[in-house]
Amino acid sequence: MESEYHYPPEIFNLLVDTIPLLCRSKNDVIIFFKGAGVSGVHLNDLQKKVQVSRESINKYEISRTVLQRINEKGDSELRTRREVIKRIVEFEEFSTCWPNDQMKAKGCVAELRKIVNVKDSFTKMNHERKREKETRVAERKKTTDQKNAKRREIENLKQELFSLFAMESEPHKRGKQLEKVLNGLFRVYGVLIKEDFKRKSPDCPGVIEQIDGIVEFEGNIYIVEMKWVKESIGVDKIAPHLVRLFNRGDARAIFITSNGYTEPAIAECREVLSQKTIILCTLQEIVFLLEKQGDLIQLLKHKVSAATGDKEPFIEVIT
């Protein structure tokens, strides 16, 4: 049971009136408070007065004095204040009261129970509201932290990508680094399944197939090919990728290149769209996306929509 740190007036006065009704004698009032954990510091003088000059004090004065003393204390008497209330609201044996006090005692206990229950309900509601607020704040902080972390990672990928433009003399190394950067971008947006891997034959040594990456987007698997080359990609360069695509059941394809595509290559992919979904991207689109801190998911959605709806494998998105 939760209660106020200090008895408010309505509870204080009700306690003063109730405790004497539950106790037949002045000494019983002292014993009640002792049982609730009230220390001798608050009781000794009153107990002595009852013993030496019994008529100089009554049960209500004892009750008010003790309650006033423990009510003025801070956290040190919190447990005691709660125990006093607990013992009263749990009181059931009214036959120990004076016969003329029993009905009044029952009424006072019932009233205290009602007040305490109402206060407990408000306390619980306040605690629940506080917990809900703390949860919302924590969730907002988590979301903000995730967004900031994602933004920092995208910024790092952008810097890595821009550094590749200075690697003119190392085309092979630059191509591998491009795979790493673009796979990192797919990973940031939560669509990367597997980075570059090689498939080997169990019957002969050597690599029989190499794939730059595999992603899952809107429930579909896409095999990814990335090329940093000086010329536009022609049919001869894109044909091997289309063969890999047709050898993989329901798989789709994403092709990314640094210098665009020839018209025959685009036409070939357009023909393929009757059987397979393939989208063509340029490195320029990725650079623009990173510079604008854009959304890769929206870019892919736009391109997939153009490929499946308009039968256009290459719609360059730079806006």
Q: Is residue 219 part of a domain?
A: yes
- Mean pLDDT, the chain, whole residue set: 85
Beta bridge mates, 209: 199
Q: Is residue 1 part of a domain?
A: no
pLDDT exceeds cutoff 80 at 30: yes
Q: Domain containing 292 — which CATH number?
A: 3.40.1350.10
Give yes or no: residues 184 and 115 share one domain.
no
Distance CA(253)–CA(54), nearest Å, equals: 99
First to last CA, the chain: 62
Give yes or no: residues 102 and 189 share one domain.
no
pLDDT exceeds cutoff 60 at 95: yes
Give yes or no: residues 119 and 23 share one domain.
yes
Q: Is residue 151 part of a domain?
A: no
Q: Is residue 36 part of a domain?
A: yes
Residue, of 235 and 204, whose pLDDT is higher? 235
Give yes or no: residues 116 and 176 share one domain.
no
pLDDT in tens, 118-128: 666 546 555 66
Distance CA(204)–CA(297), nearest Å, equals: 40
Q: Name the phi and psi angles at 223, rounded to 5.
A: -90, 140
Is residue 154 helix, strand or coil?
Answer: helix
Q: What is the dihedral of CA 7, 11, 17, 21, to 10 degrees?
A: -100
Q: Is residue 132 part of a domain?
A: no
**Looking at this protein, which amino acid is placed at residue 195?**
E
Please tell me what DSSP assigns to residue 248. S
> Of 126, 144, 160, which closes a domain?
126
Q: Name the phi and psi angles at 195, rounded to 5.
A: -75, -175
> Of 92, 126, 160, which closes a domain?
126
Range(s) of the domain holding residue 98: 9-126
Give yes or no: residues 79 and 175 share one domain.
no
Q: How many domains does the chain have?
A: 2
Give yes or no: residues 66 and 180 share one domain.
no
Segment 85-107 mean pLDDT = 92
Give yes or no: residues 50 and 122 share one domain.
yes
Count CB atoms within 10 A of the CB of residue 17. Answer: 17
Tally of helices (H runs) and strands (E runs) in the chain? 11, 5
User: Cβ distance 235 to 201 under 8 Å?
Assistant: no
Cα three-residue angle 210-281-300, rounded to 5 degrees = 100
Total residues found in the chain within this entry: 319
Strands in 220-227's sheet, in edge-to-edge order, are 192-200, 207-217, 220-227, 252-257, 278-282
Six-digit token string for 238: 């894109």
Q: Is residue 144 part of a domain?
A: no
Query: Which of the four pLDDT bands, split at 50, 70 and 90, describes residue 17?
Result: very high
> Of 126, 149, 179, which closes a domain?
126
Q: Where are the beta strands (DSSP E) in the chain?
A: 192-200, 207-217, 220-227, 252-257, 278-282
Give yes or no: residues 121 and 175 share one domain.
no
Distance CA(315)–CA(309), nearest Å, equals: 12
Give yes or no: residues 67 and 180 share one domain.
no
Give yes or no: residues 192 and 295 share one domain.
yes
pLDDT in tens, 119-153: 665 465 556 667 778 888 888 899 898 888 888 88
Segment 159-171 mean pLDDT = 86
Give yes or no: residues 86 and 185 share one domain.
no
278 burial level (CB within 10 Å; 0-12, 13-18, 19+):
buried
Give yes or no: residues 177 and 296 share one domain.
yes
Q: Is residue 217 part of a domain?
A: yes
Q: Is residue 145 part of a domain?
A: no
Query: Which of the four pLDDT bands, split at 50, 70 and 90, describes residue 23?
Result: very high
